[in-house]
Amino acid sequence: MEREISGRSAGQRRAARQKLSASKVAAFKVWAEQQLTRIPGKGDLAKAFRYGLNRWPSFTLFLEDGRVAIDNNPAERAMRPIGVGRRNWLFAGSDTGGETLARAMTLIESAKMNGLDPQAYLADLLDRIHDHKVNRLDELLPWNWTPPATQDRAA
């Protein structure tokens, strides 16, 4: 069902979810509550059921707000390179080296999330930061950054 409504407006997605998914989600909640009465209360499975049921409003938010995605696959895909590289980063040389690498990865991933070419962003950032005013560093953050060509036309 989600594939069919992908790309539609938030209102259309909400209406489709209310019509096609809300009853299934409600039935799932009833089923999950029933399962809790049938399994050992201190076991891991019971903990998992309670975890989900205690966060039910968060779980069902997608039914009320058409802007909310039903899954977090884009975020998972964005984090995959970090997970793949984790073993390599154990050899950053020192704790300080690891912290520096974490800062660099944060800038790179933030640039990607803001639709920027990370290499162009970092090259310009490193070129400009040495004479940029400290009280205006926020201008260089990925969500505020403007490419050099755009700045030349604006000046």
Given this model, what pLDDT does residue 79 score?
75
- With a cut of 90, say whether residue 107 has pLDDT above it: no
Instruction: Dihedral sign for Cα 39, 45, 47, 21, please.
Output: negative
Taken as a whole, the chain contains a residue count of 155
Q: How high is the pLDDT of residue 5?
A: 92
* pLDDT over 90, % of the chain: 50
Instruction: Give pLDDT tens digits for 8-34.
Output: 999 999 999 999 999 999 999 999 999
SS3 146: coil
Q: So what's the pLDDT on residue 53?
A: 96
DSSP labels for 17-63? Answer: HHHHTHHHHHHHHHHHHHHHTTS-TTSHHHHHHHHHHHTHHHHTHHH
d(CA 82, CA 78) in angstroms, rounded, equals 8
Quickly list DSSP for 116-140. Answer: --HHHHHHHHHHHGGGS-GGGGGGG
- Pair 17, 66: CB distance under 8 Å: yes
Q: What's the average model confidence in pLDDT over 90-106?
A: 79
49 near 36, Cβ under 8 Å? yes
Average pLDDT taken over every residue of the chain: 87
- Looking at residue 77, its amino acid is R
Local confidence band at 87 (pLDDT 50, 70, 90 cut-offs): low
What pLDDT was estimated at residue 97? 81
Q: Tokens 């891991």 belong to which residue?
A: 44
Best-predicted range by mean pLDDT (73-87, 94-108, 133-147):
133-147
Question: How far is Cα of residue 85 from the mean position of the Cα atoms in its chain?
Answer: 19
